[in-house]
Amino acid sequence: MRPSPYIRFTAFTVVGLLSVSSAAAASFKDISGHRNQTAIQYLGDKGVIGGYSDGTFKPLSTINRAELAKILVAATDANPTVDQYHDCFSDVMNQWFAPYVCYAKEKDWVAGYSDGTFRPEQSVNTVEAIKMILNAQGITAVASATDNTYSDVDDTAWYAPYVETANGKGLLETARGKLGIAARMTRGGVAETIYRVLSIKSSGATRFEVQESSQGSSGGGRGFAQEDLQQYLDVANAASDREELTKEEFQTELASLEKAARGAISLRDQHSSRPAPPSGTPPNFGQMSSRMAPPDDGSRPESKSGGGSQDFLTTASTYLKYTDANDQTVLLAIDVDGKVIMKWPRAFGGHRGAPSNDTGDAAE
């Protein structure tokens, strides 16, 4: 029987040359059960990616241009030194990332901006990362996009051929619907895409396949039923003021917003025919307007004990804060699998803009 030119991954079994056991995996204490766990473990063991001094990997944190350049170089086993590679952009001289950025530039994996800078600390968005990863791995994009499956990808945009090529090879976790072109790429997302590329190249397969019921190397991922909730995370990653909070900071911020919402409702009631709530008794969530009410769509799970407005804190692992397009503060609680499980408030503005024409590696 002729071997299939595909690699198929299930939730529990990794098939192919890049399988790796959990026992031998890199020791990151915050990736257990995460949708990108297999990818992160493998790349960690190979020395392609590293974690933080506290033993975490922070898969939901964003990644900047310098960090991605280092990972791209490490994934090819190249070992450039600052003696050889330096001073390739006006803002890339002899810093720690200089050899990686300059090597990547020499190989035409990355490009700078029209002002001669590379902007190493700037976050990388989804489509920029896709282009850079394909370039670094020697994968040629189609000449023009003709089979686009994403609602937010313009077939005439510079990034459309790269997106179509990556999707056609099964390198993207989201296969249809909204890709989130302007969303900032996360560390886990980068690990997943690079892992999938290395998998198909190592095995000779033409496409990386996962079970239809799951996305991501470890069987979790962005299920299509969660598409709307996950768009909240895309918006957060695209926001310029995105901030990762501690659990305690998140609780304090949420309490402050809830208090302000109650105050706004009390003031509104003073100017309406409705009686104000009894003194000392805050209004319940049912009294709040639909704009300020917490989600009633399953993103804020009920307590097993039957109550508690902050029960989601027992399962959340990441807490984000940003300002939406309506200048309103938004809070997100995200579980270890990368799923948004709580959002405050319920309604918010749309995505911030798509990549501009002068985005360095975004432009041809």
Q: Within a domain: residue 143?
A: yes
For every residue of 281-319, DSSP letters joined together read: -PPPGGGS-TTTSPP-SSSSPPPTTS--TTGGGGTEEEE
Q: Within a domain: residue 182?
A: yes
When mean pLDDT is compared across 25-39, 40-54, 102-116, 257-271, the lowest value belongs to 257-271
Give the pLDDT score at 118.
97
CA distance 319 to 321: 7
Q: Within a domain: residue 352?
A: no
Q: How many helices (H) and strands (E) does the chain have?
A: 8, 6
Q: Within a domain: residue 328?
A: yes
101: nearest Cα among 84, 115, 77:
84
| One-letter amino acid for residue 292 of the chain | M
Spatial neighbors of 236 by CB under 8 A, at least 6 apart, are 242, 320, 322, 330, 332
List the domain range (segments joined by +) for residue 104. Answer: 6-242
Tokens of 233: 């995370």
The 8 Å CB, 24+ separation contacts for 8-14 are 8/209, 8/210, 8/211, 9/38, 9/208, 9/209, 9/210, 9/211, 9/217, 9/219, 10/211, 10/214, 10/219, 11/211, 11/214, 11/218, 11/219, 11/220, 12/219, 14/38, 14/217
Asked if 200 and 275 sit in the same domain, the reply is no
pLDDT of 238 higher than 90: no
CA distance 127 to 358: 14
pLDDT of 180 higher than 70: yes
Give the pLDDT score at 264.
64
Asked if 79 and 172 sit in the same domain, the reply is yes
Asked if 198 and 322 sit in the same domain, the reply is no
Q: Within a domain: residue 358?
A: no
pLDDT digits (tens, 9 = 90+) for 48-92: 999 999 999 999 999 999 999 999 999 999 999 999 999 999 999
Structural domain ending residue among the three candidates 242, 271, 290: 242
CA distance 237 to 188: 13
- Angle at Cα 189 formed by Cα 142 and Cα 18, nearest 5°? 80
Asked if 202 and 252 sit in the same domain, the reply is no
Asked if 236 and 252 sit in the same domain, the reply is no
Structural domain ending residue among the three candidates 222, 242, 262: 242
243-245 and 316-323 strand pairing: antiparallel
Q: Within a domain: residue 183?
A: yes
- As a whole number, the mean pLDDT across the chain is 76
285 touches 337 (CB < 8 A): no
Confidence category of residue 185, pLDDT binned at 50, 70, 90: very high
Asked if 126 and 70 sit in the same domain, the reply is yes
Give the pLDDT score at 229.
56
Structural domains of the chain, count: 2
Tokens of 13: 């079994």
pLDDT of 33 higher than 80: yes
When mean pLDDT is compared across 2-16, 114-128, 334-348, the lowest value belongs to 2-16
Give the pLDDT score at 271.
56
Asked if 300 and 286 sit in the same domain, the reply is yes
Structural domain ending residue among the three candidates 203, 218, 242: 242
Asked if 223 and 338 sit in the same domain, the reply is no
Q: At what angle do helices 187-203 and 37-45 cross, to 10 degrees?
A: 70
Mean pLDDT of 83-108: 97
Asked if 257 and 236 sit in the same domain, the reply is no
The 8 Å CB, 24+ separation contacts for 46-50 are 47/74, 48/74, 48/75, 48/194, 49/74, 49/187, 49/191
Spatial neighbors of 55 by CB under 8 A, at least 6 apart, are 27, 28, 29, 30
Confidence category of residue 286, pLDDT binned at 50, 70, 90: very low
Asked if 102 and 197 sit in the same domain, the reply is yes
Mean pLDDT of 29-43: 91
Q: Within a domain: residue 170?
A: yes
Mean pLDDT of 105-115: 95
Asked if 173 and 262 sit in the same domain, the reply is no
pLDDT digits (tens, 9 = 90+) for 297-310: 333 333 333 334 46
Q: Within a domain: residue 16?
A: yes
Where helices occur in 208-276 by DSSP H, the ranges are: 227-238, 247-270
Asked if 234 and 254 sit in the same domain, the reply is no
Spatial neighbors of 161 by CB under 8 A, at least 6 apart, are 141, 142, 143, 144, 145
Place of tokens 């063991």: 45
